[in-house]
Every structure is written in structure tokens, then in C-alpha cells.
């Protein structure tokens, strides 16, 4: 019997994107499962071409540096499965295996999207790496392994992804804006949690999520006229909890995610 958990997330998408043109392109990091998969499928349902990026492919995992949760027998939590689901619900799903902890591999993946599509409208950074050992413990007992695992992918890789994708999104804003003045700007969406506001799980996790919040805020200062970077999602297993929002032109959409 396959066991599952259901998470609800709030995805902020431009109101005008609810009837999007099929040419609009999204990249979702960490799309093989969880929050990333749920967001990718819902973007497909809205008519996007969605690139599902992640390390877990039917051909095998891209790396073995982090721990892996045990999955129910018969589970197909791969980027290919996500891409197929995106297509099934009305989008155009494409899978790209990528080790988000490898800068060169990450840059290659984003460059490939730019070469194939010539645009990038939405970037969702949902990558995270399962930490070793007990998630809840004193920081001096967890040491640097917890820090490096949680913040190597959950923070550093998010920053690296934004660095790689923002030039393409600025170009997209310029080209789309020239032909359609009413089109919403490209959107970068970062996944955070209440761990960035108050103690949750452990010290390394909380510092990383607080940094994600600040990353969204500070990037928005530098490119406010090109790409909308002011939105980040707050996620909690089993219920929709909260959203931090700085733009009134965005609409909250509840999505159900099979973990």
C-alpha cells in the first residue's frame, strides 16, 4: 500500500498568468518531488512550458552526497514523472537532470533553457538537500555536516540559481515588454518557511531560511524594474499557513502536493 502525505502550498502567480500564453516558460528546481513537483504541475496546468530540474532521474541520481528518505515501493519521484504529469494536465513538460550543488552543471542547465526557449518567465527555487542524522538536536552536536548539507543546497544553490537565471529573465522582461506593455514581469519565487522567523528544527535550518527571506528582499532592491523578486513562499506540511507578499498584483493559489 502506497503511503503519502499531502502538503498545501501557496504559490503566488501574476493574476494575468491564470490564462497564460503557451509560450511562457518556467523553470522549477527540485521538481522531482514535494513542493517543487506540486508547483511545476500547477504551472503546467496554467499552460506553461515547464522545465523540471532535479537530480533524481529514472536513469539514476546525479549525486550521492546527501541522504535520501526511504520511499514507498513503486514510487516514481523523478523529473521524468513530473514532466509527464505537467504535459498530462495541459502544459509542456521537459525534464533536465541537474546537480544543483554543482555550479557548472547548474549554469549548463539554465543556459540550455535559454538556448531552447529564448526566454524565462518564472523561476521557482525549491531545491533542498536531506540533512544527515537527526533533524532536531543541539547545534554543537550537529556540527558542520548539518550546516553544509542544509545551506549548501538550500541557500548557496538558490543564490547560484538566481545568478545564473536573472540575466535571461532581464532579457525576457525587455523583449516581452517591448511587444506587450501589459505583460507581467518575470518572477523569481523562493521557498522559505517559518524557520526563518522563529526557532524550528535546528539552528542551521533557521539561519538558512532567514537568509532566503533576506535574499528575496535584497535582490528586489537591485532589479525592481526588470524582474519581480519580492515574492517568497512559506510552506508547512498539511496546511496552507502564510505568505509574505509585497505586490498587490499577485494572487494566492492553493495547490495540493503528494509527497
- Catalytic (active site) residue 205: yes
Identify the active-site residue in 205, 232, 234, 250: 205
- pLDDT of 191-237, one tens digit each? 887 777 889 889 999 999 999 888 888 888 887 666 654 455 555 43
Supply the pLDDT for residue 141.
92
- At 72, the pLDDT band (50, 70, 90 cuts) reads low
- Burial of residue 204 (number of CB atoms within 10 Å: 0-12, 13-18, 19+): buried
Supply the pLDDT for residue 32.
87
- 204 in Cβ contact with 151 (< 8 Å): yes
Supply the pLDDT for residue 138.
92
Supply the pLDDT for residue 178.
64
Supply the pLDDT for residue 249.
33
Identify any residues that bridge with 254 across adjacent strands, giving them in sequence order.
10
Segments making up each domain of the chain, as ranges:
6-65+72-258
Supply the pLDDT for residue 125.
92
* Residue 103 neighbours by CB distance under 10 Å: 15
- pLDDT of 96-105, one tens digit each? 999 988 999 9
- pLDDT of 117-164, one tens digit each? 999 999 999 888 878 788 899 999 998 999 998 898 989 999 999 999
Read off the pLDDT of each residue in 10-26 and give the average, rounded to a whole number.
Answer: 49
Identify any residues that bridge with 10 across adjacent strands, giving them in sequence order.
254
Return the higher-pLDDT residue of 22 and 15: 22
* Residue 256 neighbours by CB distance under 10 Å: 12
Name the DSSP letter for residue 248. T
The angle at the Cα of 118, spanning 113 to 122, to the nearest 5 degrees, equals: 65
Q: What is the mean pLDDT of the chain?
A: 75
Name the DSSP letter for residue 30. T
Angstrom distance (rounded) from CA 50 to CA 44: 6
Angstrom distance (rounded) from CA 203 to CA 137: 9
CATH number of 6-65+72-258: 3.40.50.720
Which of 18-22, 157-161, 185-189 tops mean pLDDT? 157-161
Read off the pLDDT of each residue in 46-69 and give the average, rounded to a whole number.
Answer: 76
Amino acid at each position: 500500500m502506497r503511503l503519502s502525505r499531502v502538503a498545501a502550498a501557496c504559490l503566488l502567480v501574476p493574476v494575468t498568468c491564470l490564462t497564460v500564453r503557451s509560450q511562457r516558460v518556467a523553470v522549477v528546481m527540485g521538481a522531482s518531488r514535494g513542493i517543487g513537483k506540486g508547483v511545476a504541475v500547477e504551472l503546467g496546468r496554467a499552460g506553461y512550458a515547464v522545465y523540471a530540474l532535479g537530480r533524481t532521474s529514472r536513469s539514476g541520481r546525479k549525486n550521492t552526497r546527501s541522504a535520501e528518505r526511504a520511499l514507498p515501493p513503486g514510487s516514481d519521484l523523478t523529473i521524468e514523472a513530473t514532466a509527464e504529469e505537467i504535459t498530462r494536465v495541459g502544459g509542456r513538460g521537459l525534464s533536465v537532470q541537474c546537480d544543483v550543488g554543482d555550479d557548472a552543471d547548474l549554469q549548463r542547465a539554465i543556459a540550455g533553457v535559454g538556448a531552447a526557449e529564448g526566454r524565462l518567465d518564472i523561476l521557482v527555487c525549491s531545491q533542498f538537500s536531506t540533512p544527515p542524522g537527526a533533524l532536531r538536536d543541539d547545534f554543537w552536536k550537529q556540527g558542520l555536516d548539518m550546516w553544509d548539507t542544509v545551506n549548501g543546497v538550500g541557500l548557496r544553490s538558490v543564490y547560484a540559481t538566481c545568478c545564473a537565471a536573472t540575466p535571461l529573465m532581464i532579457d525576457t522582461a525587455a523583449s516581452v515588454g517591448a511587444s506587450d506593455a501589459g505583460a507581467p514581469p518575470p518572477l523569481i519565487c523562493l521557498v522559505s518557511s517559518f524557520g526563518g522567523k522563529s526557532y524550528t528544527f535546528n539552528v542551521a535550518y533557521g539561519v538558512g531560511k532567514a537568509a532566503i527571506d533576506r535574499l528575496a528582499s535584497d535582490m528586489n532592491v537591485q532589479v525592481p524594474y526588470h524582474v519581480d523578486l519580492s515574492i517568497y513562499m512559506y510552506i508547512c506540511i498539511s496546511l496552507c499557513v502564510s505568505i509574505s507578499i509585497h505586490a498587490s498584483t499577485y494572487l494566492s493559489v492553493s495547490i495540493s502536493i503528494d509527497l
